[in-house]
Amino acid sequence: MLGQMVMISANNFLTIYLGLELMSLSLYALVALRRDDAKATEAAMKYFILGALASGFLLYGMSMLYGATGSLDISEVAKKIGSGSVNPSILTFGLVFVVAGLAFKLGAVPFHMWVPDVYQGAPTGVTLLLGGAPKLATFAICVRLLVEGMLPMAFDWQQMLMILAVLSLAIGNLTAIAQTNLKRMLAYSTIAQMGFVLLGLMAGVVGQSPANAAAAYSSAMYYAITYVLTTVGTFGLIMVLARQGFEAEEIDDFKGLSKRSPAYAVLMSLLVFSLAGVPPMMGFAAKFAVLQSVLTTGAVWLTVFAVMFSLVGAFYYIRIVKVMWFDEPTDTSPLVVEGDKNLVLALNGVAVVVLGMIPGPLLNACMSAMSKTLAS
């Protein structure tokens, strides 16, 4: 949590990197929490090695930007880039490495290799943590570095983000169809969801005009918050259904859940419908906001592409609903859950529905935050 707060509030390359490493090293240790579990150990090793590589990319990119501009302060870097007195080839070289490092932290294709293995191998409570606040913190440093620090180079990094978004939407959704492990399926779903966040980020500057910037970046921010709320609820439900010696992480483990616990089946249905973007859930409002921003740029083909792969994603989400409501349960033992967990899950479900039906206040808050960020 401290690492995330440092990342979000930092205004200096080194401070951002310090916060990022503080968060990342803690997460590596959490993934390996079960020392005697081969899957958890393997996941932690993959996460650590690839994470170190991505941190190297990010740090190398920052060093190139420092070499080009002579400053580590984001505001100073932005001024130097805006003045046009900096060698553009060095800037572009540094930018490529920075975007690669950020893409790894978001889990975007082709830097996504760690996501399915880590989500599946880590204890469910740790997976919940991984899929939650760190994604918001990573989105924040994307805004810090790309929007606040390198907005004059938006044409360059928007092209990179567009490629990452297209690949993430295609590979994430198509690969998720083949998965039987729910945590692994949700990992590929995460990759596809990050594609939408990247679409919002790449729609800010049209030509040389930043007129669409506040709306586009606020839609990406709203999407990131939506994703976190929905994912925390989904993994929370998987964690609640698990018991000693049994991880409820296979899709077949949810067979007949409606007969064992109709309330949990309804909650899970609401969450997966939100991930699929079915109205009136929160996920629909988020997808609509992002697609509206992309359409404003004139990229009709990209909007159609995103909608088509959202339909592909709806297939594997609805498969979970089908298993819960129409299949016979393989386990008929009663579900015994403490009241506080039920309360938290219920609040999460209500938030997903209410914020989908009344998205205005949260969208306006995101718009206000981005407008102030751009103004400063």
User: What is the tens place of the pLDDT at every residue in 187-228?
Assistant: 999 999 999 999 999 888 877 777 788 889 999 999 999 999
Task: Give CA–CA dist 203/108, Å, rounded.
Answer: 17
**114 close to 189: Cβ distance less than 8 angstroms:** no
**The pLDDT of residue 84:** 79
Residue 263, pLDDT above cutoff 90: no
Which of the four pLDDT bands, split at 50, 70 and 90, describes residue 368?
very high
Task: Give CA–CA dist 221/197, Å, rounded.
Answer: 7
Which of the four pLDDT bands, split at 50, 70 and 90, describes residue 86?
confident
**43 close to 28: Cβ distance less than 8 angstroms:** no
**The pLDDT of residue 243:** 67
**The pLDDT of residue 343:** 87
Instruction: Indicate the average pLDDT of the chain.
Output: 88
User: What is the tens place of the pLDDT at every residue in 106-151?
Assistant: 989 888 888 999 998 888 889 989 888 889 999 999 999 998 888 8
Domains in the chain, number: 1
User: What is the tens place of the pLDDT at every residue in 226-243?
Assistant: 999 999 999 888 888 876
User: What is the tens place of the pLDDT at every residue in 150-170?
Assistant: 888 888 899 999 999 999 999
Domain range for 235: 2-375
Residue 334, pLDDT above cutoff 70: no
- Classify the C-alpha dihedral 345-351-357-363 as positive or negative: negative
Residue 64, pLDDT above cutoff 70: yes
The three-state DSSP-derived secondary structure of the chain is CHHHHHHHHCCEHHHHHHHHHHHHHHHHHHHCCCCCCHHHHHHHHHHHHHHHHHHHHHHHHHHHHHHHHCCCEHHHHHHHHHHCCCCHHHHHHHHHHHHHHHHHHHCCCCCCCHHHHHHHHCCHHHHHHHCCHHHHHHHHHHHHHHHHHCHHHHHHHHHHHHHHHHHHHHHHHHHHHCCCEHHHHHHHHHHHHHHHHHHHHCCCCECCECCCHHHHHHHHHHHHHHHHHHHHHHHHHHHHHCECCECCCEHHHHCCHHHHCHHHHHHHHHHHHHHHCCCCCHHHHHHHHHHHHHHHCCCHHHHHHHHHHHHHHHHHHHHHHHHHHHCCCCCCCCCCCCHHHHHHHHHHHHHHHHHHHCCHHHHHHHHHHHHHHHHC
User: What is the tens place of the pLDDT at every residue in 26-44?
Assistant: 999 999 888 888 888 999 9
pTM beyond 0.85, yes or no: yes
What interhelical angle do 282-296 and 262-276 show, nearest 10?
0
**145 close to 58: Cβ distance less than 8 angstroms:** no
**The pLDDT of residue 280:** 86
* Cα 215 to chain centroid, rounded: 19
Task: Give CA–CA dist 236/72, Å, rounded.
Answer: 40
